Amino acid sequence: MKKIVGLLVCVVVVVACGWLIFGDNDLLDAELPFAFPAGNLAAAVMMVAMAAMPMLLAQPGSKLRFVAKWLLVATVLWLPVSMALAGGMQLSYSGWQSWAWMIYTLLLLLAIPVVLVWVVVAAFMAARKGATA
């Protein structure tokens, strides 16, 4: 039951953040404390919620859970790494920092759905194997 609640919370967070980011919203123009853009925070929260889903679904102690755990850690670190590369909270890049940020972000955006699909397929295979045994 805890898994389902956790997954539902993650889905609601992803949908809400996606609505903020991809919808026609004036909310993203709001400046948070320390002149931090709200869109950056919404993107980070959305990515963490997406990366938490495989962690919730993977079997404890499995190699897949290990991969999901490290993906979640890398995703949680996305915003601090982005700020460190930018040298501030505005996330404006130039030179090698822009390439490093793009590569890191792209790897996360590719890894999150791949690991999520991998966990879902593994769960279906385990359920199917248990049903035939």
Q: pLDDT tens-digit profile of 30-66?
A: 777 777 788 888 999 999 999 999 999 998 999 999 9
Mean pLDDT of 18-39: 81
What pLDDT is stored for residue 133 in this prediction?
Answer: 56
For residue 11, what pLDDT is reported?
Answer: 94
Q: Dihedral angle at the C-alpha atoms of 87, 92, 95, 99, nearest 10 degrees?
A: 100
Q: CA neighbours within 13 Å on the CB side: how many for 14?
A: 15
Residue 89 CA to residue 131 CA, distance in Å, equals 51
CA distances from 122 to 22, 43, 114, 115, 125 (A): 31, 28, 12, 10, 5
Mean pLDDT value of segment 78-96: 85
Band of pLDDT at residue 25, cut at 50, 70 and 90: confident
Residues in the chain: 133
- Whether 87 shows a pLDDT value over 90: the answer reads no
Q: The pTM is what?
A: 0.87
Average pLDDT, the chain: 89
69-90 b/e (C-beta count within 10 Å ≥ 16 → b): eebbebbeebbeebeebbeebe
Per-residue pLDDT tens for 103-128? Answer: 999 999 999 999 999 999 998 888 88
What pLDDT, on the 0 to 100 scale, is given for residue 46?
Answer: 96
Domain boundaries, given as residue ranges, for the chain? 2-132
Angle at the Cα of 16 (from 59 to 78), degrees rounded to 5? 60
**Residue 112 C-alpha from the chain's centroid:** 7
Task: Judge contact between 112 and 75, C-beta under 8 A.
Answer: yes
